Structure 1
Amino acid sequence: MSRARTEAKALILLVTFFPQCVVSMLSMTPPVMAVQIALSLGLPPQIAGVYVGLVYAGAISSSSFAASLITRFGPLRTSFICVVTSGAGLTLLAVPHLAAALLATAIIGLSYGPLTPASSHVLARYRSDAGMAFLVSTRQTSVPMGGVLAGFIVPPLVLGLGWNAACVAIGGVTAALGAAVWIAAPVVRNEHPDRPHGHGYSLFEPVRFIARRPGLASLATSSVVYSAMQLVVSSFLVLYLTSAAGLDLVLAGALLSANQLAGVAGRLGWGFVADRVAAPRLLLLGIALLMAIAAGLMSLFTATWPVCAIAAVVILLGATASGWNGVFLAEIIRDVRPAEVALATAGSMMFAYIGTVIGPTLFGGLASAVGFSNAYLFMGAAVLLAGIIGALGRANQSDSAQA
């Protein structure tokens, strides 16, 4: 690969990584200050769970018209529009009123949906290069890195400025920075929208596009369960470790951090492997198998387990439950024409976001009914079934995949 192409790829990776990272940070900011916001609005802190569901519901909605935005404005400009609007949304959250909070949540959620389709559309330019899956997986580390930024930045600002001013500071600076990059970076400012994808523009067109292609439909179906497991882990891990394994809160929190960092490493590692195997879908099945094994081991946790053994299982679960995304998206990109990448990614992410919305709620209800241990066993079985469905689905080998 020429030096110029390598430098161009690095620049594209940077300008696709940045929007997803900062919008991820913005979306995770309200849960970090959930206690302060809830007290101000007269609501219980558990309202953070409702917030997460509403954000992903907004992401599902905006994913339905993401391909249209990308066709009209270009993928990079669409991404930076999302940075500016999500920053404005967090700024609006500073108004201590429930109506403002709901509107702010809607804006943040709507800003989240187009980001993955937009970045996949850009990265599809390099679909024929070696290392495609690793490139996409590297871009996907932007999501957990946004969480890391929220964890480091938000608490000190809340303690020093108060939650209202923290929202204004974080949202305002992010929106201004997004606008500045948009204006200053020629790759964004001078972007020309790509040719239309050649399909309809109705709100349900991304889902219909996926449903008409068995290979994509099988991957999208499996992503519902994978995404559900990913959110279940981040939502319930600390609670489970303190209740079932008898760990103190500090140690459980440290293991949650280790779990999330393992997710970053997993995204990079699985992407590296995917570029070197003949059948990435079978690799996804292998990831699902390891995820199911980790979930099964989780169900066996008791206070007698050594901390090092618990940590090993938690890290394995992080590397798999949060590590599959890049391989999955690279397969979506390979299975369609370049002009269809945004539409196909939007449709597949609509399925994945359904898992994030319903997964924690269903798991919580199941845990209440049969206990956490049995709930983890059920999730492990569901993940393994999803892996089999994804692996058996016939990849789309039409001429569109070879264009």
Structure 2
Amino acid sequence: MTSSRSNTILVVSFLILVQATGALAGFWLPAIATEIAEDLDLNASLITYPVLLLYICAMISSLFAGGLVSRFGAWRSSQLALMCMGISHFMFMEGSLLLIALGSSVLGGAYGLVTPAASHLLAKVVTSKNRNLIFSIRFTGVPIGGSLAGLIGPPTALNFGWQQSMAITIIIAVLLCIVMQPFRDRWDEDRCASSTILRNPTSDLKLVWSLIPLRWLALSGLCMGAIQTTLTTFTVNMLVEDLDYTLIAAGIGLSTVQFSSIFGRVAWGWLADRLNSGLLALMCISLIAAMCAFATTLLSSSWSHLFVYSLCFVFGLVGMGWNGVYASEIARLSPKDDVSKTTGASFFITFSGVFLGPVLFTSAYSVTQAYNTTFVVTTVIALLAYIFIDKAKRTLVKAGKN
């Protein structure tokens, strides 16, 4: 497959839409949690459990993504992910706790498919000069979809009912799946009908672990995943409880984090290509993240809003802007025919950080009783990410492959 500009634009455009639809689907429940809680007579904080279930299933499906991509092709796997997104929201529409749980599981299965399939397709169209930028542009679908969920979800749920609001994601997912169909044969020409779908789920993990640079890179992804989740989970709590912000003012801080990540993903991808080193860019990201986390430990109510929001902006640039370069480096360091397998396994490790980050942070908070002080944990995790990336780089230099 040639890496012409038209091919690149076509693939990246569809993959951004798939990623944005996934983010829209994933953030929709949290965005309307209060409406769901009121209707079902539950505490809104219980939305944590469907989200947790989503990520557990995403971890599991990511290990099987390589087999699906090999058997049906990455394009069809992306369509399958879209259909699962639509099915999950159709299940949510029923309104029972059981189907919300089952729907979250289905949505998690879709989540785990998206990135391995996307990396497989992008590997066909990128060049060594634009690889990091293209991978990073694809990941802008996450904040785009998340922002749309926050903007569209609440008013739709209020005006039409939270169950009826699910129709939006269903319609978008189905339409995008249909529009993608004419291009399927062209982009799935490397599929193999004899490939096994249900394989030993540890085989891809063993592959990643056997490739030493990939092993260290995946461990850095675990750390960065922990940082990203900690940042998005505890920013509002920290601003409200430690700095005496109103909920609206704290929401602006979180929005600043999310908004800056759009620029961060593209900027870091561009810089990695200019440096001709994604690993060097990731080292810069982790080091700046450590600085931001440490600066957060020093925050107090006496600091100006402008400075605090500026810190949120920079923290968002690094704490949520690393994904594209990370996925690009996984593809670069992987055997050509195993990109989807190594990506799935690496993101299984990354998703593990999604759990570990909040758990470690919450445990530390029980001791410090202050959110800003607890960001010292995030500082340490960021420094660990730097060390792991450095080890990956040194391994490549030693092998003469950097």
Q: Report the CA distance shift for 1:352/1:305 in structure 2 as closer, same or farther (over 3 A).
A: same
| AA in 2 matched with 1:303 | S
Shift of 1:130: 1.5
Q: Secondary structure at the match of 2:106?
A: helix
Residue 188 of structure 1: aligned partner: 184
Residue 295 of structure 1: aligned partner: 293
Q: Secondary structure at the match of 1:348?
A: helix
Residue 247 of structure 2: aligned partner: 249
Shift of 1:193: 4.6
Q: Does 1:214 align with 2:217?
A: no
Q: Report the CA distance shift for 1:374/1:141 in structure 2 as closer, same or farther (over 3 A).
A: same
Residue 305 of structure 1: aligned partner: 303
CA distance, structure 1, for counterparts of residue 100 and residue 119 of structure 2: 31
Q: Report the CA distance shift for 1:331/1:395 in structure 2 as closer, same or farther (over 3 A).
A: farther
| AA in 2 matched with 1:78 | S
Instruction: Indicate the RMSD between aligned Cα atoms, in angstroms.
Output: 2.3
1:319-348 alpha-carbon deviations (Å, 9 max, x no partner): 000011111111111112221110111111
Q: Secondary structure at the match of 2:146?
A: helix
Shift of 1:41: 3.1
Q: Secondary structure at the match of 1:317?
A: helix
Structure 1 residue ranges without an equivalent (≥5): none
Q: Report the CA distance shift for 1:42/1:398 in structure 2 as closer, same or farther (over 3 A).
A: farther
Residue 85 of structure 1: aligned partner: 84
Shift of 1:374: 3.0
Q: Report the CA distance shift for 1:238/1:57 in structure 2 as closer, same or farther (over 3 A).
A: same
Greater displacement, 107-116 / 272-281: 272-281
CA distance, structure 2, for counterparts of residue 233 and residue 348 of structure 1: 21
Q: Report the CA distance shift for 1:128/1:176 in structure 2 as closer, same or farther (over 3 A).
A: closer
Percentage identity across aligned positions?
A: 28
Q: Secondary structure at the match of 2:299?
A: coil
| AA in 1 matched with 2:336 | P
Whether the 8 Å contact between 1:16 and 1:76 is mirrored in structure 2 is: no
Q: Secondary structure at the match of 1:188?
A: helix
Q: Does 1:138 align with 2:145?
A: no
Q: Report the CA distance shift for 1:382/1:233 in structure 2 as closer, same or farther (over 3 A).
A: same
Whether the 8 Å contact between 1:209 and 1:344 is mirrored in structure 2 is: yes
CA distance, structure 1, for counterparts of residue 61 and residue 338 of structure 2: 17
Whether the 8 Å contact between 1:20 and 1:143 is mirrored in structure 2 is: yes
Whether the 8 Å contact between 2:68 and 2:197 is mirrored in structure 1 is: no
Whether the 8 Å contact between 2:91 and 2:103 is mirrored in structure 1 is: yes
Q: Secondary structure at the match of 2:201?
A: coil
| AA in 2 matched with 1:304 | S
Residue 9 of structure 1: aligned partner: 8
Q: Does 1:71 align with 2:67?
A: no
CA distance, structure 2, for counterparts of residue 20 and residue 292 of structure 1: 28
CA distance, structure 2, for counterparts of residue 180 and residue 126 of structure 1: 23
Whether the 8 Å contact between 2:119 and 2:339 is mirrored in structure 1 is: yes
CA distance, structure 1, for counterparts of residue 374 and residue 332 of structure 2: 35
Shift of 1:356: 1.1
CA distance, structure 1, for counterparts of residue 41 and residue 105 of structure 2: 20
Q: Report the CA distance shift for 1:364/1:193 in structure 2 as closer, same or farther (over 3 A).
A: farther
CA distance, structure 1, for counterparts of residue 380 and residue 253 of structure 2: 24
Task: Please list, as runs of the form range in 1=range in 2, the aligned pairs for 1:3-402 lying within 5 A after superposition.
Answer: 5-167=4-166, 169-183=167-181, 186-188=182-184, 190-194=186-190, 201-370=199-368, 371-393=370-392, 394=394
CA distance, structure 2, for counterparts of residue 395 and residue 125 of structure 1: 26
How does the TM-score come out when normalised to structure 1? Answer: 0.93
CA distance, structure 1, for counterparts of residue 219 and residue 162 of structure 2: 39
Whether the 8 Å contact between 1:335 and 1:395 is mirrored in structure 2 is: no
